[in-house]
C-alpha cells in the first residue's frame, strides 16, 4: 500500500502549524442549532444546544482539556467562527448548496448510508459525489489542523468524515487521532461494492484508534483492511506502512450510550409524569399503548412494524380501541429520494390501517411526522406499555436505551431487533428478527401479555446495564484507549 499520508494530503495543505486547542472534536454536525429571529432577519443568529448525547458526554472533557468542536452548522453557508455558544468554542465548516447536495445528500446519505446498512435500498455510486466527499473531508481536516495545539488529541466522528484521519495525519503528524463510527461497518462482500473502498480504509487508518459499536463491526473492518488494502492484522491491531516505518492502528468495539441519569431525572419530574397521563387520556385510556420513535429512515423497519401491527388487528389478537400504536417519525434527509419514497409508503400504510380499523373517535395508529423536545419524549416513553424497535440494521439505537432509562418504576417492555447494536447489551428485551413478520407478531404479543413480575425482572437487568454504561463511561473508555494507543510507535520498515 502507498503511504497513506501522501495519498491523502493533496495539494495546498497547510503547513503543520499549531492552533490553540488541546482537544478537538470533529463531527459532521455542530452541537448547536441555529435560531434566527423571524422578526429581525438581519440580527445575529442565536445558537441553542442540540440535545445529542455526544455533546453531553464530551462537554466536560472539552472544558478540562481546552476543547473546540469542529462541525457543519446544518445548512449551506460560509464557514463560521471560531465562535462561542453555550460556553463552548465552535468552528463551523462551510458547505455550498452543491456540496450539501453532492456530499451530504449524495455520498453520505445515498451512497454510504445504504451501503453501511446492508443495502436495504440500493446505494448510488456517483463519481462527482465522491469528489465532493474528498473535498469536504479535506476542509474538515484543515479546520481541525488549524485548531489543534501541538500534540493535541483529535476525535473524529462518523461515516461522513472517514477520510479526515488520513488527511489530518498528513497535515499534522504530531496529533493523536481517534475515530468513532456511529453506524454499522458492513461485511466485506457488501463493502467491496464501493469503488473507493481502498481510499476509505486508508483514510480511516490515519487514526491511532478506531472505535466501532459492535465486535462484528470491528471484525468486518479488520477484514476490509486485509482485503481492500492488503494489510496484515494481528488481533485488533492493523500494521500500516508509514513514511518512517510501520504504525500499528487499533480497532475495537466501544458501544455508545446515552446520558442515562438525565433521562431518569426527566422521567421523575411531576410535569413529565402528568403529561404522560394526559397522553393516555387523550388516546382514550387504551389498555395497551405501543410506541415507535424513529427518524423517518428505511433502516428503522417502520413498514415491518406497521405490517405486523396491522395483521394483529386483522386477526383480532389486538383490538382497536383497546390497543393504540403511537409512531413518532421525525423528519430526516427529506430531499433524498429513498426517504421521500419511504414517507409515501408509511403514510399510505398508516392511512390504510386507520381506514380499516378506526372508528369515529378512535384511531389505531397515531402517526406524528414531527420532532419533539426531550420532555415530550420522556412523557411518551412513560405513557407506553411496549416500545417497538424493529430496525433492519442500526449501529446502536439510542431510543431503546432512552426508553429503559426513563422507566424508573421498572415497568414496560421492549421489543428489540437483533440487528441493532443495543441487542448485544439489552438482553432483557424481547429480541426479534423484524423480517420475520409472524415472529414479530408473536413477540409483540409476548411483550404485551408478559407477567408483571417477568417484565420487571427484564427491565431491571436492562436498567442496570444502561446505568452502568452511560455516555460519559463510553467517552472515558474511548479516550483512555486512545491515550494508551501505540501513537507513532515505529515498528521497523517491513510489514
Ligand atoms: O448516527 C448517524 C447519524 O448520521 C449521525 O451522524 C447524525 O448526527 C444523525 O444520524 C442524524 O443524521 P443527519 O445528520 O443526516 O440529520
User: Residues 35-58: pLDDT tens digits?
Assistant: 877 788 778 778 888 867 688 778
Residues 6 or more apart whose Cβ sits within 8 Å of residue 494? 246
Q: Ligand 1 centre and the CA of 486: distance in Å?
A: 30
Name 209's bridge partners. 178, 250
Q: Estimate the share of the chain in helix, then strand, then coil, as percent rounded to the nearest 5.
A: 45, 20, 35
Pocket of ligand 1 contains residue 218 by CB under 6 Å: no
Residues 6 or more apart whose Cβ sits within 8 Å of residue 211? 178, 179, 180, 181, 251, 252, 253, 254, 478, 481
Task: Give the model's pLDDT for residue 53.
Answer: 66
Q: Ligand 1 centre and the CA of 56: distance in Å?
A: 16
Work out the pLDDT band at 1, boundaries 50, 70, 90.
very low
What distances in angstroms separate CA 374 from CA 33, 277, 333, one per listed residue? 15, 17, 21
Locate all alpha helices (DSSP H) within 327-373, ordered by sequence: 337-357
Nearest CA to ligand 1 atom 11: 332
Instruction: Reply yes or no: is the peptide bond before residue 39 cis, omega within 30 of 0.
Output: no
Over residues 69-119, the pLDDT tens digits come to 999 999 999 999 899 998 899 999 999 999 999 999 999 999 999 999 999
Task: Give the model's pLDDT for residue 14.
Answer: 52
Average pLDDT over residues 408-436: 98
Over residues 380-400, the pLDDT tens digits come to 999 999 999 999 999 999 999
Q: Ligand 1 centre and the CA of 217: distance in Å?
A: 18
Ligand 1 atom nearest to 52, measured from its CA: 8
Per-residue b or e along 52-90, where b marks 16 or more CB atoms closer than 10 Å to that residue's CB: bbbbbbbbebbeeeebbbbbbbbeeeeebbbeebeebbb
**Among residues of the chain, what percentage have pLDDT more than 70?**
94
Work out the pLDDT band at 18, boundaries 50, 70, 90.
confident
Work out the pLDDT band at 492, boundaries 50, 70, 90.
very low
Pocket of ligand 1 contains residue 117 by CB under 6 Å: no
Task: Give the model's pLDDT for residue 380.
Answer: 98
Q: Can you tell me whether residue 153 is helix, strand or coil?
A: strand
Q: Cα–Cα–Cα angle for 197, 198, 199, nearest 5°? A: 95
Distance between CA atoms of residues 113 and 300, nearest Å:
13
Pocket of ligand 1 contains residue 182 by CB under 6 Å: yes
Distance between CA atoms of residues 302 and 81, nearest Å:
39
Task: Give the model's pLDDT for residue 328.
Answer: 97
Pocket of ligand 1 contains residue 297 by CB under 6 Å: no
Pick the closest to residue 187 from 157, 219, 209, 156 (CA basis): 219
Over residues 289-299, the pLDDT tens digits come to 999 999 999 99
Ligand 1 atom nearest to 108, measured from its CA: 15
Q: Ligand 1 centre and the CA of 338: distance in Å?
A: 16
Q: Can you tell me whether residue 411 is helix, strand or coil?
A: coil
Which residue pairs from 401-404 have beta carbons closer than 8 angstroms and sit at least 24 positions apart in sequence?
401/257, 401/258, 401/260, 401/426, 401/466, 402/258, 402/263, 402/377, 402/378, 403/291, 403/293, 404/459, 404/462, 404/463, 404/466
Task: Give the model's pLDDT for residue 488.
Answer: 52
Question: Is 394 labeled as catalytic in the residue annotation?
Answer: yes
Ligand 1 atom nearest to 158, measured from its CA: 6
Scan for cell 485488533, then name that residue: 236
The catalytic position among 182, 294, 297, 357 is 182
Ligand 1 atom nearest to 182, measured from its CA: 1
Distance between CA atoms of residues 448 and 317, nearest Å:
11
**Is-above-0.95 flag for pTM?**
no
Task: Give the model's pLDDT for residue 400.
Answer: 97
Amino acid at each position: 500500500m502507498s503511504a497513506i499520508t501522501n495519498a491523502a494530503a493533496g495539494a495546498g495543505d497547510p503547513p503543520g502549524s499549531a492552533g490553540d486547542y488541546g482537544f478537538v472534536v470533529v463531527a459532521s454536525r455542530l452541537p448547536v442549532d441555529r435560531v434566527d429571529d423571524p422578526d429581525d432577519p438581519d440580527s445575529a443568529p442565536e445558537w441553542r444546544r442540540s440535545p445529542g448525547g455526544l455533546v453531553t458526554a464530551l462537554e466536560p472533557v472539552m472544558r478540562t482539556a481546552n476543547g473546540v468542536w469542529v462541525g457543519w452548522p446544518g445548512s449551506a453557508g460560509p464557514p463560521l467562527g471560531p465562535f462561542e455558544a453555550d460556553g463552548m468554542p465552535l468552528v463551523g465548516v462551510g458547505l455550498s448548496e452543491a456540496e450539501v447536495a453532492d456530499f451530504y445528500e449524495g455520498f453520505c446519505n445515498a451512497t454510504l448510508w445504504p451501503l453501511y446498512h446492508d443495502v436495504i435500498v440500493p446505494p448510488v455510486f456517483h463519481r462527482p459525489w465522491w469528489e465532493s466527499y474528498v473535498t469536504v473531508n479535506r476542509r474538515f481536516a484543515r479546520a481541525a489542523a488549524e485548531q489543534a495545539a501541538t500534540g493535541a488529541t483529535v476525535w473524529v466522528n462518523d461515516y461522513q468524515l472517514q477520510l479526515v484521519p488520513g488527511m489530518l495525519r498528513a497535515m499534522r503528524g504530531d496529533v493523536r487521532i481517534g475515530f468513532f463510527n456511529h453506524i454499522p461497518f458492513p461485511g466485506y462482500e457488501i463493502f467491496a461494492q464501493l469503488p473507493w473502498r481502498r481510499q476509505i480504509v486508508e483514510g480511516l487508518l490515519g487514526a491511532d484508534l478506531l472505535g466501532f459499536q459492535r465486535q462484528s463491526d470491528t471484525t468486518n473492518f479488520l477484514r476490509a483492511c486485509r482485503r481492500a488494502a492488503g494489510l496484515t492484522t494481528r488481533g485488533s491491531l492493523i500494521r500500516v506502512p508509514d513514511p518512517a516505518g510501520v504504525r500499528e492502528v487499533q480497532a475495537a468495539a466501544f458501544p455508545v450510550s446515552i446520558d442515562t441519569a438525565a433521562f431518569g431525572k426527566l422521567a421523575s419530574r411531576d410535569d413529565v409524569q402528568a403529561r404522560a397521563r394526559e397522553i393516555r387520556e387523550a388516546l382514550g385510556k387504551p389498555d395497551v399503548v405501543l410506541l415507535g420513535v424513529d427518524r423517518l429512515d428505511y433502516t428503522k423497519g417502520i413498514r415491518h412494524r406497521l405490517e405486523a401491527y396491522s395483521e394483529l388487528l386483522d386477526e383480532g389478537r389486538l383490538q382497536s380501541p383497546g390497543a393504540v400504536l403511537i409512531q413518532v417519525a421525525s423528519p430526516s434527509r427529506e430531499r433524498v429520494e429513498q426517504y421521500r419514497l419511504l414517507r409515501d409508503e408509511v403514510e399510505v400504510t398508516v392511512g390504510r390501517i386507520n381506514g380499516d380499523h378506526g372508528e369515529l373517535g378512535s384511531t389505531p395508529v397515531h402517526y406524528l411526522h414531527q420532532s419533539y423536545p426531550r420532555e415530550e419524549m420522556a412523557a411518551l416513553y412513560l405513557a407506553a406499555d411496549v416500545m417497538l424497535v424493529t430496525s433492519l440494521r442500526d449501529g446502536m439505537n439510542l431510543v431503546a436505551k432512552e426508553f429503559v432509562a426513563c422507566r424508573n418504576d421498572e415497568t414496560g417492555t421492549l421489543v428489540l431487533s437483533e440487528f441493532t447494536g443495543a441487542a448485544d447489551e439489552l438482553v432483557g428485551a424481547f429480541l426479534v428478527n423484524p423480517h420475520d413478520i409472524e415472529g414479530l407478531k408473536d413477540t409483540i404479543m409476548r411483550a404485551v401479555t408478559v407477567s408483571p413480575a417477568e417484565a420487571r425482572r427484564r427491565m431491571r437487568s436492562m436498567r442496570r446495564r444502561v446505568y452502568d454504561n452511560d455516555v460519559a463511561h463510553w467517552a472515558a473508555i474511548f479516550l483512555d484507549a486512545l491515550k494508551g494507543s501505540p501513537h507513532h510507535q515505529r515498528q521497523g520498515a517491513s510489514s
